[in-house]
Amino acid sequence: MKSGYVGEIFSSIQGEGLYVGRRQVFVRFAGCNLSCVYCDTVKFRKPAKYCRIEKAGKSEIRKNPMKSVEIFEEVLRLATPDIHSVSLTGGEPLMAAELAGEVAKLCKKASLPVYLETNGSVPEAMKKIVKFIDYASIDVKLPEHKSVKPGEWESLFKKELSCVRIARKKAETFVKIVVLPNTKETTIFSVCKEIANLDVPVVIQPVTPVGEIKEFPRREFLLKLSEAAALAGVKDVAIIPQVHKFIGFR
């Protein structure tokens, strides 16, 4: 039985991507291998000493590491009749692939669909977990996200494409691309040209101001990026912001 670091377990709605508004139980793994400028979960980039667990509208603090069966028990307790799926998020859940895989397997046995939110940087880990995944949201990074050191972005992008290929064989898969005010149409076009070959939907997600990001991308600008994605060959493209931030959900 595997154990590892979880930052929080709670019930909310999915606020991003194609399944926005669906009720989920979130398992947020602590620890990430990237450092994006727009990250809104910075405190979960490193393994957390404690996990915050939602209980009766309040929070219970549990010491890490947690075992997969402990995590699953909390998921079951928080599951409601309207639940769409269990979201394995982060941090980066593929950094804890063995633990995440055990949790996903337990969820599947309990007929709870599993929704993986990942940066797609660890395709080897995706291979291990994908058979337990029903939905995959893969967050493709752009050079201006500064997720990796200069000169390492192309390697990251290749890994993300590989992750998409693996995921789409077993799960309903889509790509999410966070766009900043300085994102270029040419960048979206070149990235989407590669993604178009994989025949998956693309969600353009306007960044929510955080940290050094001070403003939202403009409406006209977002429409141009959507056009660029379509011109690159993407058949299904949508512009969807972080809805949960607008309506007061976590």
In 3-state terms, the chain is what percent helix, strand and coil (to 5)? 35, 25, 35
Q: Is 191 exposed, middle or buried (0-12, 13-18, 19+ CB in 10 A)?
A: buried
Q: List phi, psi (to 5°) of 225.
A: -70, -40
Alpha-carbon distance of 247 to 208, in angstroms, equals 13
Q: Is residue 223 one of the residues assigned to a domain?
A: no
Specify the CATH number for the domain of residue 107: 3.20.20.70
pLDDT at 250 over 80: no
Do the domain assignments include residue 52? yes
- Give me the sign of the Cα torsion angle 177, 179, 182, 187: positive
Strand order in the sheet with 172-179: 58-63, 50-55, 6-13, 23-29, 83-89, 114-118, 135-139, 172-179, 202-206, 237-239
- 44-58 average pLDDT score: 92
Give residue-wise pLDDT tens across range 177-217: 999 999 999 999 999 999 999 999 999 999 998 888 889 99
246 in a domain, yes or no? Answer: no
148 found inside a domain: yes
Residue 97 has pLDDT above 90, yes or no: yes
| Preceding omega of 201 cis (within 30 degrees of 0) | no
Average pLDDT, rounded, for the chain: 96
Domain membership of residue 210 (yes or no) is no
∠ at Cα 135 (62, 86), nearest 5°? 25
Asked if residue 224 belongs to a domain, the reply is no
d(CA 72, CA 68): 6
In the chain, the number of structural domains is 1
What does the pLDDT look like over 121-176, one tens digit per residue? Answer: 999 999 999 999 999 999 999 999 999 999 999 999 999 999 999 999 999 999 99
Domain annotation covers residue 146: yes
Distance separating alpha carbons of residues 51 and 31, to the nearest angstrom:
12
Judge whether 220 lies within some domain.
no
Structural domain span for residue 43: 3-178
Alpha helices in the chain (DSSP H): 68-78, 97-109, 123-129, 153-168, 185-196, 219-231, 243-246
- Do the beta carbons of residue 27 and residue 87 sit within 8 Å? yes
At residue 7, the pLDDT reads 97
Burial (0-12, 13-18, 19+ Cβ within 10 Å), 137 = buried
